[in-house]
Amino acid sequence: MKHIARKRFGQHFLTDTGVIDAIVRAIDPRPGQPMVEIGPGLAALTQPLVERLGRLTVIELDRDLAARLRDHGQLDVVESDVLQVDFSALRASASGPLRVVGNLPYNISTPILFHLLEHVAAVQDQHFMLQKEVIDRMVAAPATADYGRLSVMLQWRYAMENVLFVPPEAFDPPPRVDSAVVRMLPLAEPPVLDRRHLAELVQVAFSQRRKLLRHTLGKWLEQRQAGGNFDLQRRAEEVPVAEYVALAQATQA
């Protein structure tokens, strides 16, 4: 029986075999590696992955799809909202750090990325298909229109690369946007800081991105009697990630 894509789950099923092959090559799965796929859907990516891995854990919210996936003898199915999944616990029961992959629902892609950030110590790498516009923001350099809160909050912890463009016609039904695949490698020696403190700082900085930072971050720093030599005569998008990190380290309790 044909599965009808459910709009409330943001389902767009990958069908282009050439794109699927290119994604699998980019991921380069090896036998025995512990891998978790988010949103396997109709298993277009799942099957070539599990053929190379031997076994694969999949996270699927749609109960009908989860039931189908359970019939596959090489899959461990977690029927759950991915935002409720404890990836650190999955790592604890695995033979090594997790490789996480998936075609992420566009409507909750950013919450998923921030959820995984909480479990980054459990992860070896991440390969995700996302809306191209989101990936452009993830990998953006300072002083560009795409550089913002998402750029800073991911780049302080990951090295990232846009590895593949995916057109709408590669899906059924086709989304109204272009897609792409991003590779995310957790930094081996990340800065030591309070992530929530950095998140608050960056949120304030980009709250009015057209204004100079003295109007936003300046007040936030005054309240903490901090700031030092940080240049507030800039806009938020002009400040490199390393400077946000250094300021967070200098101002955290």
pLDDT for residue 13 is more than 80? yes
Instruction: Express each pLDDT in 175-218 by its tens digit.
Output: 899 999 999 999 999 999 999 999 999 999 999 999 999 999 99
For range 11-40, the mean pLDDT: 94
Name the one residue in this structure whose structure tokens are 């002083």.
Answer: 143
Annotated binding site for S-adenosyl-L-methionine: 12, 14, 39, 60, 81, 103
Query: β-strand 75-79 against 56-60: which pairing, if any?
Result: parallel
Choose which CATH entry (3.90.1420.10, 1.10.8.100, 3.90.950.10, 3.90.1150.10) describes domain 195-251.
1.10.8.100
Domain ranges of the chain: 7-186, 195-251
Rounded distance between C-alpha atoms, residue 238 and residue 141, angstroms: 9
**What is the CB neighbour count within 10 angstroms for residue 115?**
16
Confidence at 253, pLDDT banded by 50, 70, 90 = confident
Phi-psi region of 35 (alpha: psi -120 to 50; beta: other; left: phi over 0): beta
pLDDT for residue 28 is more than 90? yes
Confidence at 11, pLDDT banded by 50, 70, 90 = low
Instruction: Express each pLDDT in 96-144 by its tens digit.
Output: 999 999 999 888 999 999 999 999 999 999 999 999 999 999 999 999 9
Rounded distance between C-alpha atoms, residue 61 and residue 248, angstroms: 36
Confidence at 6, pLDDT banded by 50, 70, 90 = very low
Which long-range contacts link 193-200 to residues 24+ away (Cβ below 8 Å)? 193/156, 193/245, 193/248, 193/249, 193/252, 194/248, 194/252, 194/253, 195/117, 195/118, 197/248, 197/251, 197/252, 197/253, 198/152, 198/153, 198/156, 198/244, 198/245, 198/248, 199/153
Report the percent of the chain where pLDDT is more than 90. 87
**What is residue 135's predicted lDDT score, i.e. its pLDDT?**
97
Q: How many whole angstroms from its chain centre is CA 201? A: 21
Instruction: Express each pLDDT in 67-99 by its tens digit.
Output: 999 999 999 999 999 999 999 999 999 999 999
**What is residue 139's predicted lDDT score, i.e. its pLDDT?**
98
The dihedral sign for the CA sequence 69, 115, 126, 177: positive
Annotated binding site: 12, 14, 39, 60, 81, 103
CATH topology match: 7-186 vs 195-251: no
Confidence at 10, pLDDT banded by 50, 70, 90 = very low
**What is residue 228's predicted lDDT score, i.e. its pLDDT?**
79
Choose which CATH entry (3.40.50.620, 3.40.50.11540, 3.40.50.150, 3.40.50.300) describes domain 7-186.
3.40.50.150
